[in-house]
Structure 1
């Protein structure tokens, strides 16, 4: 130990005294060491003192603990001796077991005593309630409230105790129910007496001032009796599900005579009880009961409801706080029983089932909209009686089948009618594509179908109607139109088994009329579906469908037994969007797929109509393109002086064909498709005349005059049916080509006059135009064409055209 200490001292000195200069600080170093030594010594003394005190305290604690142990052992021994004497046992363990058994018996006796005490309390409260009934209703109600509170506490304890006292709870519940029935009967009799005094249900009856206090007190007592049940029921009404409200006791009393009258009229063999006329008993409720007695209810019952429920959770429920809603709630069981009583019979007769559902739906809608009834469900739409009926067993499936069969039979009648595919030219105004009568009737049928189910509450049921009936009929009619188009194509094809005469008819106005019927029908229903997509009802359905689709994968059930993929295939592919692209959702709509199919059919039909028109024009221009009188050098001045030149006889066929085709198109198709069809037709005519007549022959001045006369005749004809813009697009190039070809040999003005004439600076002769066009640069030739107002012609085309003048060739 000394060696270790010496080594540490040596290390310390080596560290502190490393040079001669460090010896000068030796005094301060010794002083620091002495201070540290003193501090360590004082700390050691303090630690020794604390250790001594701790040892002394440990000794004292041990002595006290030993004394406590000895005292405990002594007491334990005394207890064991006393316990063995009491239980007459030989050992303490045997005595403890016997003592515990005795204590268990005492506990059971205590529980039995409390059990009996509770039974006595229940019987006492029950007897008090019955004894006060009729003499002191307030005390009777107080006793009932106490026993009901006791029942509530017992039920809560029963759950905690895992059903330890079922008989006590059942006995208390039976007593409570019995008291409730007795109080309800007594209070109801009191209220009935007052109602008789005011001649209820006479709508002209009134509560006098002397009766008013009794009336209000009778209503108030019935509400007070029912208040615990109302509060318990309202706790379930948290907005997450529909909770049917209870019928308030005062209204239960008030509707008794009304229900008797209802049963008198609508039960048995009364003439008003007709199975095929459910609107009789439904309108009886709204017109003969609600409308008749609502003033009395709001005047006399409403103030009591406000006084009783104001400031409580019940005030948030219109079925309790609003007298009109409470009155309706009390009438619904009567209506519900009547509906269910006739339901088995109408299920066997499809027309009656359809009529019943329509009338019940109308009844529900009237209660919601006109009477503002919400069923007492916070934030939820009242489902209505129709929803209850349709949710029962397979009633909805049967009703859907009835409606679908009716819609399909009506559809078949529409398409089988002799005039079904005639265009209705009076259905829409000028400039609109005219639909067939079948398309209009199908649209009316499907709109009526919408009216049948738009008031349903269930989204699944509405979606089934949409897909199984409306879209299905749209698809059937699309197939019919597609078949009609296919039949036309087949009959006009080269392999079609039709005669040449029949083919000619199908390539003319008769074929155009056939195509016009398909085109008009497809266009009308496509636009109808686009309009439906913007309808509020279908927008709400689309929004709900989007929401449901966003919650699951494509194979998830979105409504009923329909998956997202199945619904997307029939409505819009945008809902089958696994990536959740909101932009795609916003672009979609319910009738996307069906409307797109009709659009494709319309586009295809329009294309075939275009082919028919252009082919017709080309064939009609055949004789005209083969004649060659254009190079004749005979002067045309004499003919011109006699008046305008008549068109060539070879144009008669074209003129007649254009007249019939355009007159039909103007009546049958709208402005936009008319312009598209006319543009293609005129451009086909322009191409034939330009390529085969102008560029295919040489022209003299007389020939160009005749060509101009022919063109004027054509322009005069088409201008009767088409606007100037369409004509210019279709025949503008041809007209400019003829103007260029018809330039006179000599200018009508001298060159100096032409230069001074700012309005017509390009009044030049044929040879000068030819010189500038053929010998000048491309820019000069282009400027010349611009000056002549021939902007539709290229320089190359202009040179080809002007080269056809025989004068230039000579």
Structure 2
């Protein structure tokens, strides 16, 4: 029953719509079926057309493949034909290549022969020129040979170049021999070399003729000058190879070289290793005797021949220096076992070097006699002697009766700066400076470093002697020797600082050494092996190194200076404390005032103030100004500390006692130091501020006590009110001139007044 009712309800509700829906589905199915049939028909037609196109494409591919095979066959046939042709013509190509090589070789041989023919032709010209005695033509031909040599420098034909060199050397020897003979004749006529005593002098006409001949032959010899690459080193000494002398200059030196070897070699009496000054003096005299002639006669000839950059006198000296180096090099190994002779030859050599550089302006880069000393065994011997002599000299200087007297005693007492140092210090510094001047001429930085270390060792030795001399302090209150030792140590420190700081004199020298020493200490030796780059390496090291090589020893001497000042201050303060004892112990709390009388110095303070004044006056006279400045400042601070602790803190005061103390300090003690400063009170802060507090009026004291007690109730309290109280107390003290004293200390000082009410 219920089912029927439901069906009826659904039929009534959906019957019309459902039929329409079903009809729509049928129509859609029919439409889609028609579209599918049309699509199938179209696809079948396309498939039929594609089969025909595919057949045509396959036929075209077959045709292309056939054509490719034909082309390949044609290519292979052409390749076979080319190989056959190549084999056929290979023989002809090889013949052509051989002909081209033969042609190139023929050209090279022709060029080679041309150069040889040119050289041989020039040689023939020179032979002909010599036969007719035409030296100018021969020299022109020789110049042509030199030009050919220059042109062939880039060639790879070493045999040709060797042949040219041999030809040049051959003709050079012949021409030099010819010119040398004529040149020697002219030198004989002008009586060269010029000795100190000439028997006769040539006539004026002869002089003019000789001068003309000299100019001509000198010019000829200049044209014989060989290139440096072909020149042989003229010295067999230990010197490095150097630029050879000009040929005419060498001929000017030759008779002197011969004379030198005659007198100073072999068994001649003049050849004495104990008398090196003989040959140094002889060479010096030769330079002196020939300088004017070289300057006014030879130099113009050089200028006329385009050798303006050559100094005739310097070239002449250079030739003689080489002679000396050979002599020193041969003698010095024999002197290593003889300290006196070894020292003597070094002294004479250095004197000669100074004369060359200072009198004749001989350049330092040219050969030097110092080079004969730059050997490990020689340097070791030299350093050991410098150390031995330096140590003995220090002992001798310090043991002298006048060691601790000022070197410039006539002006020392009237001078307030730099002339109060003792004779011992000045002599030791002079010794060190002379030592530095000797070894600074060495070209090797490593050798110079060894000398600097030796000097530092001597300064260490001197430091030990100073410590021994001053370990017990001054022998008495007024000890002159102790004062001058103080001056000496201070002067020594000043000089060492100058050696470290003055760029133009010592800084670059010692800074370079220090930089290299630091580099070596770190083990980085590789970067210093190349001497050509040494200056650049040192410059880089200087930027990375702080301080100087003398900083360590300067620090030691500064410590010594400070200890000596402390010992001096102790001795002076012992006397002052002894004399101040009655003054500190007098009854300040019961001191009476005399009505109508002005304040006067306390009698018990007289001895103390007299000892202070005498000490200041004495040490101002004998101490250097910079040392005395430190002395009186330390003395003032120690007196301030002593009087504050032993007088102020240890006593009670009434009003009269406080006024008397203030008068004694302000009007008497401060006066003694006013000669040295406008504000002596700056060095007596505690004593001055204590006097201010002890002499306040009673009203101010009551208020100040309240403020100080409030501020010092709980010093560890950091709350806002406590901080404000302390700030207020500090401000109150500042208003009355108290800036250094602590709050609690100020309160304690105020409480030393027995006549003030206590809170």
What secondary structure sits across from 1:421 in the alignment?
coil
Structure 2 CA distance for aligned equivalents of residues 206 and 474 of structure 1: 67
Q: Is the 8 A contact 1:354 1:403 kept in 2?
A: no
List aligned pairs for 1:641-720, cutoff 5 A: 644-649=599-604, 651-669=605-623, 674-712=628-666, 714-715=668-669, 718-719=672-673
CA shift, 1:477, in A, is 0.7
List aligned pairs for 1:488-567, cutoff 5 A: 488=473, 506=475, 509=477, 516-535=483-502, 536=504, 538-545=506-513, 548=516, 554-555=522-523
What secondary structure sits across from 1:724 in the alignment?
coil
Deviations 1:724-778 (A, max 9, x none): 33x21222432342244234xxxxxxxxxxxxxxxxxxxxxx3322332234566
Deviations 1:246-304 (A, max 9, x none): 12222233345555777899896689996545552242133212244222111113322
* Inter-CA distance 305–192: structure 2 relative to 1 (3 Å threshold): farther
1:360 to 349, 354, 377: 349
List aligned pairs for 1:24-39, cutoff 5 A: 37=58
2:694 to 738, 741, 748: 741
CA shift, 1:344, in A, is 7.2
* Inter-CA distance 534–234: structure 2 relative to 1 (3 Å threshold): farther
Structure 2 CA distance for aligned equivalents of residues 645 and 223 of structure 1: 99
* Inter-CA distance 637–257: structure 2 relative to 1 (3 Å threshold): same
2:130 to 115, 133, 138: 133
CA shift, 1:32, in A, is 7.3
Match of 2:391 in 1: 408
- 290-299 vs 691-700, which moves further: 691-700
Structure 2 CA distance for aligned equivalents of residues 213 and 445 of structure 1: 54
Structure 1 CA distance for aligned equivalents of residues 176 and 164 of structure 2: 18
* Inter-CA distance 59–419: structure 2 relative to 1 (3 Å threshold): closer
Structure 2 CA distance for aligned equivalents of residues 617 and 477 of structure 1: 33
Q: Is the 8 A contact 2:318 2:366 kept in 1?
A: no
CA shift, 1:479, in A, is 0.6
Q: TM-score, normalised by structure 2?
A: 0.69
Match of 1:298 in 2: 299
Match of 1:386 in 2: 370
Q: Is the 8 A contact 1:697 1:804 kept in 2?
A: yes
* Inter-CA distance 300–39: structure 2 relative to 1 (3 Å threshold): farther
What secondary structure sits across from 1:245 in the alignment?
coil
Are 1:287 and 2:288 an aligned pair? yes
CA shift, 1:529, in A, is 0.7
Match of 2:72 in 1: 51
2:252 to 230, 251, 254: 254
What secondary structure sits across from 2:549 in the alignment?
coil
- 716-725 vs 366-375, which moves further: 366-375
Q: Is the 8 A contact 1:129 1:140 kept in 2?
A: yes
2:429 to 435, 443, 462: 443
CA shift, 1:350, in A, is 4.3
Match of 1:191 in 2: 183
Structure 1 CA distance for aligned equivalents of residues 118 and 738 of structure 2: 115
Match of 2:556 in 1: 597
1:466 to 439, 446, 452: 452
Match of 2:752 in 1: 804
Q: Is the 8 A contact 2:449 2:517 kept in 1?
A: no
* Inter-CA distance 28–339: structure 2 relative to 1 (3 Å threshold): farther
2:684 to 717, 727, 731: 731
CA shift, 1:415, in A, is 0.9
CA shift, 1:371, in A, is 4.8
List aligned pairs for 1:212-231, cutoff 5 A: 218-228=217-227, 230-231=228-229
List aligned pairs for 1:736-775, cutoff 5 A: 736-743=689-696, 766-775=697-706
List aligned pairs for 1:596-615, cutoff 5 A: 596-614=555-573
What secondary structure sits across from 2:652 in the alignment?
coil
* Inter-CA distance 809–258: structure 2 relative to 1 (3 Å threshold): same
* Inter-CA distance 333–628: structure 2 relative to 1 (3 Å threshold): closer
Structure 1 vs Structure 2 CA RMSD: 5.3
Structure 1 CA distance for aligned equivalents of residues 693 and 88 of structure 2: 141
CA shift, 1:805, in A, is 3.1
Structure 2 CA distance for aligned equivalents of residues 606 and 352 of structure 1: 45
Match of 1:378 in 2: none
* Inter-CA distance 530–64: structure 2 relative to 1 (3 Å threshold): closer
1:331 to 309, 312, 320: 320
Structure 1 CA distance for aligned equivalents of residues 661 and 254 of structure 2: 97
Q: Is the 8 A contact 2:335 2:342 kept in 1?
A: yes
Match of 1:481 in 2: 466
Q: Is the 8 A contact 1:618 1:684 kept in 2?
A: no
Q: Is the 8 A contact 2:698 2:756 kept in 1?
A: yes
Match of 2:721 in 1: none
Structure 2 CA distance for aligned equivalents of residues 440 and 257 of structure 1: 48
Structure 2 CA distance for aligned equivalents of residues 466 and 345 of structure 1: 27
Q: Is the 8 A contact 1:125 1:146 kept in 2?
A: yes
Q: Is the 8 A contact 1:646 1:710 kept in 2?
A: yes
Q: Is the 8 A contact 1:374 1:382 kept in 2?
A: yes
* Inter-CA distance 334–687: structure 2 relative to 1 (3 Å threshold): closer
CA shift, 1:666, in A, is 2.6
Q: TM-score, normalised by structure 1?
A: 0.65
Q: Is the 8 A contact 2:425 2:488 kept in 1?
A: yes
Deviations 1:463-495 (A, max 9, x none): 232222x2222111101112233344xxxxxxx
Segments of 5+ residues of structure 2 without an aligned counterpart are 1-38, 93-115, 195-200, 530-536, 711-724
* Inter-CA distance 734–487: structure 2 relative to 1 (3 Å threshold): closer
CA shift, 1:594, in A, is 1.6
Deviations 1:784-807 (A, max 9, x none): 544444445555444433333343
Structure 2 CA distance for aligned equivalents of residues 436 and 484 of structure 1: 14
Q: Is the 8 A contact 2:322 2:367 kept in 1?
A: no
Structure 2 CA distance for aligned equivalents of residues 557 and 589 of structure 1: 20
Aligned length: 650
* Inter-CA distance 40–600: structure 2 relative to 1 (3 Å threshold): farther
- 537-546 vs 548-557, which moves further: 548-557
CA shift, 1:532, in A, is 0.8
CA shift, 1:232, in A, is 2.9
Match of 1:100 in 2: none
CA shift, 1:186, in A, is 1.0
* Inter-CA distance 684–542: structure 2 relative to 1 (3 Å threshold): closer
Structure 2 CA distance for aligned equivalents of residues 667 and 399 of structure 1: 43
CA shift, 1:696, in A, is 3.4
What secondary structure sits across from 2:600 in the alignment?
coil
* Inter-CA distance 31–415: structure 2 relative to 1 (3 Å threshold): farther
CA shift, 1:355, in A, is 4.3
* Inter-CA distance 350–278: structure 2 relative to 1 (3 Å threshold): farther
What secondary structure sits across from 2:621 in the alignment?
helix
CA shift, 1:449, in A, is 1.6
